[in-house]
Amino acid sequence: MVGASRSSAPDDEEIESRSEEEVKEICLEIHKTDENGLKQKLLLNEITSDLKKDDEKSANELKEIDCIEIFGYEFSPRCVGITCAVANGCNGGSVLVPMLLSDIDGFDYVLSYSIGSLIANQIFWFLRFMYSAIRKKSFSEGYDSLPSFHLKDILIPGCLSGILYHIGHVGVILSVSAFGNAIGGGIGNIYILVSGMWGILFYKEVRDKKKIITWFVSAITLIAGVCLLAIEQKDD
3-class DSSP state for residue 145?
coil
Contact between residue 221 and residue 229 where contact means Cβ atoms under 8 Å apart: no
Contact between residue 207 and residue 165 where contact means Cβ atoms under 8 Å apart: no
Would the pLDDT of 217 be above 90?
yes
Would the pLDDT of 24 be above 50?
yes
Mean per-residue pLDDT for 193-205?
Answer: 90
The C-alpha atoms of residue 142 and residue 136 are separated, in whole angstroms, by: 6
The C-alpha atoms of residue 184 and residue 191 are separated, in whole angstroms, by: 13
Q: What percent of the chain has a predicted confidence (pLDDT) above 90?
A: 12
Domain residue ranges of the chain, discontinuous segments joined by +? 15-64, 67-93, 102-147
Mean per-residue pLDDT for 120-132?
Answer: 90
pLDDT for res 123: 94
The C-alpha atoms of residue 226 and residue 73 are separated, in whole angstroms, by: 41
Would the pLDDT of 49 be above 80?
no
For the stretch 4-17, what's the b/e string if a residue is b when 16 or more beta carbons lie within 10 angstroms of its beta carbon? eeeeeeeeeeeeee
Contact between residue 177 and residue 99 where contact means Cβ atoms under 8 Å apart: yes
pLDDT for res 126: 92
Residue 219's region, left for phi above 0, alpha for psi from -120 to 50, else beta, is alpha
Q: What is the mean pLDDT of the chain?
A: 78
